[in-house]
Amino acid sequence: MPRIRKENITTPFFHIMVQGNNKEYIFNFEEDINKYLKIMETTKEKINIMILAYCMMNNHAHILLFEEDTKNLTQYMHRVNLLYAKYDNKKYNRVGYVFRDRY
């Protein structure tokens, strides 16, 4: 079943899931989780999005967000995942994708 275009979604509540490429771990240590959460928090202040809840696991994360403008949602998730991917690639001396597919 194809995804619903974000422009056609009528709810301001979004359940976001990010998963590691090839289902690999994206959070190897607690400091990695803390880094992702810090990026989420600082980006939230810049883009003005509301984080309602989250659940972090080693190879994926669930995030519940409230945002009435889907453009802000796209901008927020792009920035969070980009900044974390740069951190992860540098820390683990690797290149390429960290996350599987679109959030």
Q: Are 67 and 76 in contact (CB under 8 A)?
A: yes
In the chain, the percentage of residues whose pLDDT exceeds 70 is 89
Chain segment 15-65, per-residue pLDDT in tens: 999 999 888 999 999 999 999 999 999 999 999 899 999 999 999 999 999
* Neighbour count for residue 37 (Cβ, 10 Å): 15
φ and ψ at 5, to 5 degrees? -60, 135
Which residue ranges make up each domain of the chain? 18-100
Model confidence band, residue 1 (pLDDT cutoffs 50, 70, 90): low
